[in-house]
Chain A
Amino acid sequence: MSLTVNIKKRLENFNLKVAFEAGNERMALLGTSGSGKSLTLKCIAGIEKPDSGQIVLDGQVLFDSQKGINLPPQKRRVGYLFQQYALFPNMTVEQNIACGMWQMTRAERQKAVAVMIERMKLNSHWKKRPAELSGGQQQRVALARILISCPKLLMLDEPFSALDSHLRWQLELELAETIKSYEGTTLLVSHKQDEVYRLSDSVCVLNDGSAEQKRPVKELFEAPSTMSECMILGINNISRARTVDDYTIEAIDWGTRLCTGKAVPTGISHIAVKEEDLVFANGEVTNKIKCQVDQVIEDVSSTLLMLSTPGGDSGSSRLQLRMPKTPGMKLGKSDRLNLHIDPARVMTFNR
């Protein structure tokens, strides 16, 4: 099973430009809302028509602007789990699951539906209508309805956004099981990095309509390589940078020079460091940043320090440091402190 997407679409104030290939894997599209994730899924499903490009699923051309091919959604064999599940409100659970199987005989259909109902643990809900079900049950009906026709591709659009937060975890565990037993490509769309980390093998970051290179999930989280990847991962400690020598870089906004673990690649413009990789300097001489506390923010389970640095403009915090809550912490506004970054933890990239 494989999926190749290379499409462009122009809307009024928005340009979509997405290209990736996915094998038999769990892939994710990660991006903020309005970055074009759902639009990409709609193009693959055939609900929206791209202006140009190609979509190939399993060797079958679904869309090709040059050859003039544009299969209707009905013929694409693409499973699409919509954000609000889009169950048909006038049909029972059983009818919702069965309706796509109209080409089967009655007996075959009943059998297939029974198998799906069993598998999705919907046994006591056959005759209920969607409005009588909980959010989790609705999602299982929607999945059953999709999986019964064995689609070649399973697309999940923000599958947990319709749920209260205390229900999400249970449902994520269930969905992880379902995805695991599904033999084909899955494409998850999400704006939550932790969901993506747990549920996918590879990921493609989408930013304002354009897709970054697809890469393994672990690699993205270890070493984001563009500004937009840093942003979506919630890395706020970013500084403009200038190469000094093979293993030294000048962090302009932080007013210091830092050693790097790996040789500095050419053409570097920025460096970044995760909040958890900043530590208090304990006598280290190298890789130090002199900071001043701007603000101390109490978070749910940690304390966040907003820090300004020598290179930064006055009044704008250039670093954020997250630390465990410590009773009797003496740090307050305007206190000075030195921070240290492990050379191996310095992430360099080009904007």
Chain B
Amino acid sequence: MELFPLFNSIRIAIISTIAVFFLGIFSAYYISRANRLVKGFLDVILTLPLVLPPTVVGYLIIRALGPNHPVGIFFQDLFGIKLILVWWSAIFATMIVSFPLMYRTARGAFESFDETLAYSGQTLGLSNAFIFWRIRMPYCRQGILAGTVLAFARALGEFGATIMVAGYIPGKTATIATTVYHFWRINNDEMAMRWVLINIAISAVALIAINIFEKRNLTIRTKNAS
């Protein structure tokens, strides 16, 4: 069995999750401290991909990065890089679709942070970077980890936008999701089923990982509280 789709899916999901991890955390951090108007506006914009059909996202990506559009032309001319119908095109799609999951869970976590801890860190002479990475992030780690796993699982399962921007080219842009669709279309039930099972297995592992982590956190907390 050709395992390229598995490798490609995981590669896309990992790169997109790393990017979304930082983007999500920083936008969550700054938006959680912005004033209400800015917050309300940006919140809608950044959450929109969660509710839009992936085809709409895919269409917008093609409009933005396609070979006949400014950004696409720019990259083609300057670096000779294609942004559409190559394997990394899917990264744009998965990033946009999974970003809201990271952003919203991280923002929820940041908003529950006890700001006094940051203040006391400042009066103790700790740098703002130290306070962010060593106090705020550990305090919010549960929400941030949950957001990361959700974003990863979502990136792994992305289909609609991916098929539009990366297409289905065996050995080049095929992912697990697009491979299932391909085999179903050509009536190869056995292969379709194999890839379905692979997908279910990976997603289940990711969700089990969240649950185990949450449980462990819970036991640590109750132990500390008693």
A74 close to chain B: CB less than 8 A: yes
A74 touches B224 (CB 8 A): no
Question: In the bound complex, do residue A132 and residue B124 qualify as a contact, i.e. CB atoms below 8 Å apart?
Answer: no
Complex alpha-carbon distance, A327 and B130, angstroms:
65
Of B59-67, B84-92, B113-121, B154-162, the one contacting chain A is B113-121
Are B123 and A88 in touch, CB under 8 angstroms?
Answer: no
CB <8 Å contact, B139 and A90: yes
CB distance from B12 to the nearest CB of A (A): 33
Q: Does A191 reach chain B (CB closer than 8 Å)?
A: no
Could you tell me the distance in whole angstroms from the C-beta of A134 to the nearest C-beta in chain B? Answer: 13
Q: Which residues of B lie under 8 Å from residue A73 when comparing CB positions?
A: 119, 122-123
Distance A78 CA – B221 CA, assembled complex (angstroms):
32
Q: How far is the CA of A159 from the CA of B36 in the complex (A)?
A: 34
Interface string of B105-134 (1 = CB under 8 A from A): 000000000101101111111110010001
Q: Is A182 close to B, CB under 8 A?
A: no
In the complex, which residues of chain B have a beta carbon less than 8 angstroms from the beta carbon of A88?
A: 117, 121, 134-135
CA distance A139 to B122 in the complex (A): 18
Question: Among B116, B134, B138, which residue has its beta carbon within 8 angstroms of that of A82?
Answer: B116
The verdict on B37 contacting chain A, using a C-beta distance below 8 Å, is no
Complexed CA–CA distance, A100 and B122 (Å):
9
State the CA gap A100–B121 with chains docked (Å).
8
Alpha-carbon distance between A88 and B116 when the two chains are bound, in angstroms = 10
Q: Is the CB of A45 within 8 A of B119?
A: yes
Which of B116, B119, B124, B225 makes the CB contact (< 8 A) with A100? B124
**A146 and B124 form a contact (CB under 8 A):** yes
B-side binding surface: helix, strand, loop or mixed?
Answer: helix
User: Among residues 300 to 328 in chain A, which have CB atoms less than 8 Å away from a CB atom of chain B?
Assistant: none
- Range of interface residues on chain B? 20 to 34
Contact A80 B123 (CB under 8 A): yes
Q: A74-B127, A131-B224, A131-B225 are contacts. A86–B117 as well, Cβ < 8 Å?
A: yes
Smallest CB gap from B141: residue in A:
A90
Residues of A near B123 (CB, < 8 A) are 45-47, 73-74, 76, 78-80
- Interface centre among B120, B125, B134, B224, by most chain A C-beta atoms within 10 angstroms, is B120
Q: Say if the beta carbon of A149 comes within 8 Å of chain B.
A: yes
Q: How far is the CA of A129 from the CA of B119 in the complex (A)?
A: 20
Q: Which residues of B contact A79 (CB under 8 A)?
A: 123
- Minimal beta-carbon separation of B11 from chain A (angstroms): 33
CB B127 to nearest CB in A, in angstroms, measures: 7
**B105: shortest Cβ distance to chain A, in Å?**
19
Complex CA distance for A47 and B115, rounded to whole angstroms: 11
Q: Is A337 an interface position by the 8 A CB rule? A: no
Shortest CB-to-CB span from A296 to chain B, Å, is 45
- Cβ < 8 Å to B, chain A residues 25-47: 42, 45-47
Residues of A within 8 A of B225 (CB): 131
Residue of A nearest to B224 (CB): A131
Residues of B within 8 A of A80 (CB): 119-120, 123
| A99: Cβ under 8 A from any B Cβ | yes
Is residue A248 contacting chain B, with contact meaning CB distance below 8 A?
A: no
Interface centre among B122, B123, B125, B130 (most CB of A within 10 A): B123
Q: Which of A46, A74, A79 has most chain B Cβ within 10 Å?
A: A74
CA distance A42 to B118 in the complex (A): 13
Query: Given the interface contacts A88-B135, A129-B224, A132-B224, does A74 sit within 8 Å of B116 by beta carbon?
Result: no
Which residues of chain A (143-200) have a CB below 8 Å from chain B? 145-146, 149
A99-B124, A149-B124, A149-B125 given; 6 more Cβ-contact pairs under 8 Å? A45-B123, A46-B122, A73-B123, A80-B123, A88-B117, A131-B224
Q: Which residues of B contact A (CB under 8 A)?
A: 114, 116-117, 119-127, 130, 134-135, 138-139, 221, 224-225
Sorted nearest first, the 7 A-B pairs with minimum C-beta distance are A131-B224, A86-B120, A100-B124, A73-B122, A90-B138, A80-B123, A86-B116
A and B contact pairs by CB, cutoff 8 A, 13 listed: A45-B123, A47-B119, A73-B122, A79-B123, A82-B120, A89-B139, A90-B139, A100-B124, A100-B126, A102-B126, A102-B130, A131-B224, A145-B124
